[in-house]
């Protein structure tokens, strides 16, 4: 399948390149893999990171763009990621990080390349569930910084996924959101004086 990666804003990329070129930024990063990397580190596969703040029984509320994430490659593998965020003064470098979501993102992107259909790659965070998904948006020409999940879009939960949700298994938004809604629905508290 053709997997489309939307172009990152040029100022966001510049902030990551500046941080990678700064020995202080790399040395102070809490990413041992990046500090010990042999050879040049290059930003790759920029993905817009959207946040889904609320899920209602009717579906997803609109998402908001939280930033852009770049995988940082040394040679053939991603060793870390860089996050940028939008500030009142424009795009700013936020931080480097490593961990399971870096390798899970890379794995999910490889998996998506073998699927049928064309998709635009994004990331969708569901903070209430501590969940991050690869969001495969069906409109490849859409602005990667805008929109909300369409019912036919695919979400691929990244590992580690919340209990009971299989990581790296693609789900249609229309199928996964009801499951997430159920998980986020608070259990009603017992009334005072009623049997527990």
Q: What is the pLDDT of residue 87?
A: 92
Comparing CA positions, the residue from 102, 75, 103, 97 lying closest to residue 28 is 97
Q: What is the pLDDT of residue 59?
A: 58
pTM value?
Answer: 0.87
Q: What is the pLDDT of residue 62?
A: 67
Q: How far apart are CA 42 and CA 73, in angstroms?
A: 5
Per-residue burial over 22-59, b = 16 or more CB atoms within 10 Å of its CB, e = otherwise: eeebbeebebebbeebeeebebebbbbbbebeebeeee
The low-confidence residues of the chain, meaning pLDDT below 50, are 187, 194, 196
Q: What is the pLDDT of residue 1?
A: 53
């Amino acid at each position: 399948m053709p997997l489309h990666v939307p172009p990152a804003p040029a100022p966001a990329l510049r902030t990551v390149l500046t941080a990678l070129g700064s020995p202080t930024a790399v040395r102070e990063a809490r990413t041992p893999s990046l500090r010990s990397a042999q050879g040049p580190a290059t930003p790759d596969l920029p993905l817009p990171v959207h946040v889904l703040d609320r899920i209602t029984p009717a579906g997803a509320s609109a998402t908001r763009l939280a930033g852009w994430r770049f995988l940082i490659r040394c040679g053939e593998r991603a060793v870390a990621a860089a996050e940028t965020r939008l500030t009142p003064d424009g795009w700013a470098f936020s931080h480097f990080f490593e961990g399971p979501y870096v390798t899970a993102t890379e794995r999910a992107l490889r998996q998506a390349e073998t699927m049928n259909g064309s998709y635009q790659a994004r990331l969708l965070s569901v903070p209430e569930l501590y969940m991050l998904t690869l969001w495969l948006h069906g409109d490849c020409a859409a602005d990667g910084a805008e929109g909300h999940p369409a019912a036919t879009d695919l979400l691929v939960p990244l590992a580690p996924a919340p209990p009971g949700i299989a990581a790296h298994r693609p789900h249609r938004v229309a199928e996964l959101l009801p499951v997430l809604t159920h998980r986020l629905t608070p259990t009603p508290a017992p009334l005072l004086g009623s049997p527990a």
